[in-house]
């Protein structure tokens, strides 16, 4: 195509048949894939069988990648806004023109406020070294990711106990005897390898206790399902711990060696009996007792899941924290069928990848969200994005001038887009770099079309685990449109600002060579497999002497000094959420297996499977409100109202309502999904600034909606 | 009947629909036709637990296919070697007789090509020694494909293991 001078990886356009190993980009899991290319076109995608767990499996989203590639309803060339923000008027620009425009605006912001006046967000993941290097090179401490609406509470819970983040302890699901899931909908919010292990474990007779406000497909495979009152699972965990301590069901040997603060823990759960928890949760006390006894009988090969998407309510951090306390009490750490400490190259005495980040000068300025200064108990890495918007609005602790969204769509994924827009309106520049017309892109000043994951290579990813490995996203084909890979876009912006030294590489192959320099791995070897294990034999740490928790005491700390210092309880009493009025519900959101959170709604094949969401409410409750299955309803919250379809089911708690996230799109260029369904984030009025003070995650499921027949 | 089997183990199926999308993607089909369909039934409450059953419906590749009998143009054919029933697109006149005739709805309409389409077990893949698209990408191996005289005994093995587990752990 004319104007397409993409910096392709060498040989990507060669004729004939090629097999390319890469990493999927249809959701944030990034599964290893094998791609068959015929004369520059992708003809087949499957899982990469060089990864044994993956095999040739690939989920519906990955299978719809070719449809995504061939779809014209995505940004095809750089666009510069001509009308009002969000007005949908654009002009086509060349890359030079768009990049010059951005650089000029960024220079203005740097001159006025310094580099720290630029904020950037992405969705984390294994390539974040590139993005962090870009932000650091700009001279900004304000790298954010999506995690305040995802796993922050779990992250901080894990850090507060073990000194390690949530990925520091991997789950050996395949070999577990009992898995306890708190709304972790493994089957529909699926990661291919994880769900394969899950189903294998069940096939071998593992039990699963699934706790949620509704019966998901995961519930349909579980051996125990509790339809719990919304936002109360923390009470359940307090009762579990109460029984474990009262009946000595814990691993006394492990606890003696590795847990500090057992007395304080015991004191904190003195009154949280199963009978007490029954009143909070609706789960019968007898069942709570039977369950925890059954689970403890299978210890240490049991797992209490920390949660994945834990931005739910004000006690989500404590739910995750108590799940991990139960893990420690079960002594399941560094145990088959329990939790395995994730190990990196360093743990095996190997040299890891060279990081790009180390090439960039250190940034001394504090973060604008106060993480690391005002909030010392939060992980500085990606900060807390919900705190960015109040900071922009107030100009405190310092004013901001620009925001760059890289494959992140806060107007869809964070609550209350109207407030976000008010903040964004104060900025001189909003840029969206994306493969889709996201809601945020539509509100931006410039849209830079990134090449799709099939059309671009990424930096090499190093993954920790029981055994560390390297993963390559190779480029499969050249871009169909005038789009570019992220590494090139970042370098070009930095070049224009005279700050490109850290990303000054001519080609992606040069970046790969830099990353691999000094390791034992050659690019050829990595390319020939796509996923390369770095060690042959798994090593476990010594459970008597060598678990090496990264806390001050080296042990699992029931009382966290960081929380103490922040004036927050480590072992908090349970807050009983108020009951809803008739006709009101807690809004809970989630996914189906064939859509990701917010990026696939317009995909032709996935849209065909589900083109509109519906609000689930309890059948009996709906009946009392005069609502029939399939009716059109009006849903209201704090002055915002929307209309959609209702699904009545007995498999949802009467106090909860559920919808699949990602619908209610407003970008007319996405014709298949435009205007279809309801957007939960717009119903979450006032929730942008509502978060768990100990964990930092947004309190999304505290949103109360009222429902009536339209 | 064709010499193959394509079995679904509902117990292992998670309803992720990778089968449906892989099929459509492999055949470059537009919105509309689905050569295989994984229908879910439920949830229903069984012994106080929510349970969902899945029913996978490709083409059964009948011994005496209704669709073949009614096809006026000879487009629907049966492979001599293995009994796969398929549509030769160049011969299809788009009359939809097969769609009317098939009792299981296996014959579908491709609006882009204005012709009938149906599952052919991905015969081109079979000829390369590969398995059908739906089976290849299935997440949990709940779909199994092979030659019918070598049917797997997975379900019997699972049942035996279950019996043994219950016997060893009577309190279970």
Q: Are strands A556-557 and A32-38 parallel, antiparallel or unpaired?
A: unpaired
Considering only CB atoms, B18 lies closest to which of A59, A65, A650, namely A59
Residue of A nearest to B22 (CA): A63
The answer for B 31-60 residues in CB contact with A (under 8 A) is 31-32, 42-43, 45, 49-52
3-state secondary structure A237-306: HHHHHHHHHHCCCCCHHHHHHHEECHHHHHHHCCCCCHHHHHHHHCCCHHHHHHHHHHHHHCCCCEEECC
C-alpha distances (whole Å) from A116 to each of A128, A384, A392 are: 19, 16, 12
Contact A199 B21 (CB under 8 A): no
* B95–chain A nearest CA distance, Å: 25
Q: Are strands B37-46 and A656-660 parallel, antiparallel or unpaired?
A: unpaired
Q: Is residue A67 less than 8 Å (CB to CB) from chain B?
A: yes
Q: How far apart are CA A681 and CA B73, in angstroms?
A: 54
Name chain A contacts of B11, Cβ cutoff 8 Å: 203
Q: Is residue A41 less than 8 Å (CB to CB) from chain B?
A: no
Considering only CB atoms, A46 lies closest to which of B15, B137, B162, namely B137
Name chain A contacts of B31, Cβ cutoff 8 Å: 604-605, 607-608
Determine the pLDDT at residue A56. 98
Q: Are strands A302-304 and A178-182 parallel, antiparallel or unpaired?
A: parallel
Name chain A contacts of B52, Cβ cutoff 8 Å: 217, 220
Determine the pLDDT at residue A1. 41
Determine the pLDDT at residue B155. 78
Determine the pLDDT at residue B170. 57
Considering only CB atoms, B22 lies closest to which of A63, A604, A650, namely A63
Higher-confidence residue: B154 or A598?
A598
The radius of gyration of chain B's CA atoms, rounded to the nearest angstrom, is 18
| A5 HSE (CA, 13 A, CB side) | 4
Strand arrangement, sheet containing A469-471: A461-463, A469-471, A531-533
Q: Are strands A446-449 and A429-434 parallel, antiparallel or unpaired?
A: parallel
| Per-residue tokens: B9 | 């183990």
Pseudo-torsion of CA A517, A521, A524, A528, nearest 10°?
Answer: -150
| Cβ neighbours of residue A11 closer than 8 Å, sequence gap 6 or more | none
**Can you list the residues of chain A whose pLDDT is less than 70?**
1-4
Q: Where are the beta strands (DSSP E) in A435-484?
A: 446-449, 461-463, 469-471
C-alpha distances (whole Å) from A241 to each of A41, A245, A589 are: 56, 6, 28
pTM for this model (two decimals): 0.97
**DSSP single-letter state for residue A579:** P
Q: How far apart are CA B154 and CA A401, in angstroms?
A: 62
Residue given tokens 């992140």 in the structure block? A408
Residue given tokens 């830099």 in the structure block? A514
Q: Give B95-122 pLDDT, tens digit per residue.
A: 999 999 999 999 999 999 999 999 999 9
Nearest to A45 by CA among B38, B141, B22: B22
Q: Are A571 and A264 in contact (CB under 8 A)?
A: yes
Higher-confidence residue: A637 or B165?
A637
Q: How far apart are CA A280 and CA A232, in angstroms?
A: 7
Q: How far apart are CA A691 and CA A668, in angstroms?
A: 33
> A17 - beta bridge partners?
A38
Name chain B contacts of A60, Cβ cutoff 8 Å: 16-18, 20-22
Name chain B contacts of A224, Cβ cutoff 8 Å: 49
Q: How far apart are CA A269 and CA A266, in angstroms?
A: 6
Q: How far apart are CA A359 and CA A453, in angstroms?
A: 26
Q: Is residue B22 less than 8 Å (CB to CB) from chain A?
A: yes
Nearest to A64 by CA among A599, A676, A530: A599
Q: How far apart are CA A306 and CA A153, in angstroms?
A: 9
Distance of CA A174 to the CA centre of its chain: 22
Phi-psi region of A41 (alpha: psi -120 to 50; beta: other; left: phi over 0): beta
Q: Are strands A531-533 and A469-471 parallel, antiparallel or unpaired?
A: antiparallel
Determine the pLDDT at residue B159. 81
Nearest to B5 by CA among B121, B105, B156, B153: B121
DSSP-derived 3-state class of residue A233: helix
Q: Where are the beta strands (DSSP E) in A297-380?
A: 302-304, 339-341
Q: What per-residue string of b and e applies to A134-173 under the rule 16 or more CB within 10 Å gives b? A: bbbbbbbbbbbbbbbbbbbbbbbbbbbbbbbbbebbebbb
Nearest to A411 by CA among A393, A396, A424, A427: A424
Q: How far apart are CA A710 and CA A394, in angstroms?
A: 39
* A439–chain B nearest CA distance, Å: 25
Q: Give B19-74 pLDDT, tens digit per residue.
A: 999 999 999 999 999 999 999 999 999 999 999 999 999 999 999 999 999 999 99
Q: Are A97 and A482 in contact (CB under 8 A)?
A: no
Q: Tell me the H-state helices in chain B.
A: 18-26, 66-70, 97-101, 123-127, 133-137, 154-168
Element (H, E) at A110: helix A95-113
Mean per-residue pLDDT, B147-155: 81
Phi-psi region of A539 (alpha: psi -120 to 50; beta: other; left: phi over 0): beta
The answer for B 133-172 residues in CB contact with A (under 8 A) is 136-140, 158, 161-162, 165
Contact B17 A44 (CB under 8 A): no
Determine the pLDDT at residue B99. 97
Q: Where are the beta strands (DSSP E) in A93-168?
A: 118-122, 143-145
Residue of B nearest to A205 (CA): B162
């Amino acid at each position: 195509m004319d104007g397409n001078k993409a910096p392709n990886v060498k040989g990507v356009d060669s004729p004939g048949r090629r097999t390319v190993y890469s990493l999927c980009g249809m959701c944030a899991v990034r599964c290893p894939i094998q791609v068959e290319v015929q004369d520059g076109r992708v003809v087949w995608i499957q899982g990469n069988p060089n990864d044994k767990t993956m095999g040739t499996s690939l989920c519906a989203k990955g299978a719809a990648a070719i449809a995504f590639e061939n779809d014209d309803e995505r940004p095809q060339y750089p666009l510069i806004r001509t009308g009002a923000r969000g007005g949908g008027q654009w002009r086509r620009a060349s890359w030079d023109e768009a990049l010059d425009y951005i650089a000029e605006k960024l220079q203005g912001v740097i001159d006025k406020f310094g580099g720290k006046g630029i904020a950037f967000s992405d969705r984390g993941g294994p390539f974040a070294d590139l993005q962090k290097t870009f932000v650091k090179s700009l001279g900004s401490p304000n790298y954010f990711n999506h995690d305040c609406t995802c796993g922050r509470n779990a992250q901080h819970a894990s850090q507060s106990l073990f000194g390690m983040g949530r990925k520091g302890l991997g789950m050996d699901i395949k070999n577990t005897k009992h898995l306890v899931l708190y709304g972790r909908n493994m089957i529909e919010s699926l990661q291919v390898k994880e769900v394969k292990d899950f189903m294998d474990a069940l096939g071998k007779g593992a039990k699963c206790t699934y706790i949620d406000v509704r019966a998901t497909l995961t519930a349909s495979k579980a051996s125990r399902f509790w339809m719990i009152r919304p936002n109360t699972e923390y009470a359940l965990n307090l009762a579990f711990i109460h029984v474990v301590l009262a009946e000595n069901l814990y691993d006394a040997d492990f606890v003696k060696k590795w847990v500090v603060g057992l007395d304080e823990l015991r004191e904190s759960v003195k009154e949280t009996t199963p009978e007490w928890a029954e009143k909070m949760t609706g789960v019968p006390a007898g069942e709570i007792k039977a369950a925890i006894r059954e689970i403890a009988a299978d210890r240490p090969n049991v797992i209490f899941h920390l949660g994945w998407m834990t931005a739910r309510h004000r006690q989500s951090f404590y739910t995750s924290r108590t799940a991990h306390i139960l893990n420690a009490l079960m002594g399941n750490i560094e145990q088959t069928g329990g939790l395995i400490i994730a190990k990196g190259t360093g743990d095996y005495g190997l040299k890891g990848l060279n990081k790009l980040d180390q090439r960039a000068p250190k940034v001394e300025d504090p973060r604008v969200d106060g993480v690391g200064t005002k909030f010392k108990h939060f992980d500085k890495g990606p900060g807390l994005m919900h705190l960015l918007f109040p900071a922009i609005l107030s100009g405190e602790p310092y004013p901001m001038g620009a925001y760059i969204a890289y494959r992140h769509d806060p107007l869809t994924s964070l609550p209350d887009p109207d407030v976000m827009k008010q903040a964004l309106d104060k900025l001189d520049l909003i840029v969206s770099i994306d493969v889709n017309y996201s809601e945020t892109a539509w509100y931006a000043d410039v849209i830079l079309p990134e090449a799709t994951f099939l059309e671009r290579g990424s930096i090499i990813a190093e993954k920790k685990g029981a055994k560390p490995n390297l993963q390559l996203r190779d480029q499969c084909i050249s871009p169909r449109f005038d789009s570019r890979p992220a590494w090139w876009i970042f370098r070009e912006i930095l070049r224009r600002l005279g700050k490109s030294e850290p990303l000054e590489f001519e080609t992606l192959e040069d970046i790969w060579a830099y990353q691999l320099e000094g390791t034992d791995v050659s690019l050829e070897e990595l390319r020939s497999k796509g996923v390369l294990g770095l060690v042959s034999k798994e090593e476990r740490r010594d459970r008597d002497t060598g678990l090496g928790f990264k806390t001050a005491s080296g042990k699992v700390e029931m009382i966290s000094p960081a929380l103490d210092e922040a004036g927050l309880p480590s072992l908090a009493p349970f807050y009983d959420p108020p009951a809803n009025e008739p006709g009101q519900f807690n809004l809970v959101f989630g996914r189906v297996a064939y859509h990701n959170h917010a990026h696939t709604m317009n995909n032709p094949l996935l849209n065909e499977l589900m083109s509109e969401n519906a609000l689930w409410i309890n059948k009996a409750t709906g009946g009392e409100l005069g609502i029939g299955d399939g009716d059109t309803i009006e849903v209201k919250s704090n002055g915002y109202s929307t209309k959609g379809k209702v699904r009545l089911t007995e498999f949802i708690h009467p106090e909860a309502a559920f919808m699949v996230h990602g619908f209610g799109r407003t970008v007319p260029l996405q014709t298949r999904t435009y205007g279809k369904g309801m957007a939960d984030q717009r119903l979450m009025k006032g929730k942008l600034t509502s978060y768990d003070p100990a964990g930092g995650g947004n309190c999304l499921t505290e949103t109360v909606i009222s429902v009536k027949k339209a | 009947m064709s010499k193959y089997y394509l079995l679904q183990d509902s117990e292992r199926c998670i309803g992720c629909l990778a089968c449906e999308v892989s099929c459509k993607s492999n055949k470059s089909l537009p919105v509309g036709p689905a050569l295989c369909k994984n229908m879910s039934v439920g949830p229903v409450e069984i012994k106080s637990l929510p349970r969902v059953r899945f029913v996978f419906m490709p083409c059964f590749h009948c011994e005496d296919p209704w669709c073949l009998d009614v096809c006026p143009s000879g487009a629907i054919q049966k492979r001599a070697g293995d009994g796969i029933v398929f549509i030769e697109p160049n011969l299809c006149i788009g009359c939809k007789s097969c769609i009317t005739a098939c009792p299981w709805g296996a014959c579908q309409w491709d609006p882009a090509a204005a012709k009938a389409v149906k599952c052919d077990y991905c015969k081109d893949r079979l000829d390369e020694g590969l398995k059908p698209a739906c089976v290849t990408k299935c997440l949990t191996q709940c779909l199994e494909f092979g030659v019918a005289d070598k049917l797997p005994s997975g379900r019997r093995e699972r049942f035996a293991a279950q019996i043994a587990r219950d016997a060893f752990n009577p309190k279970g």
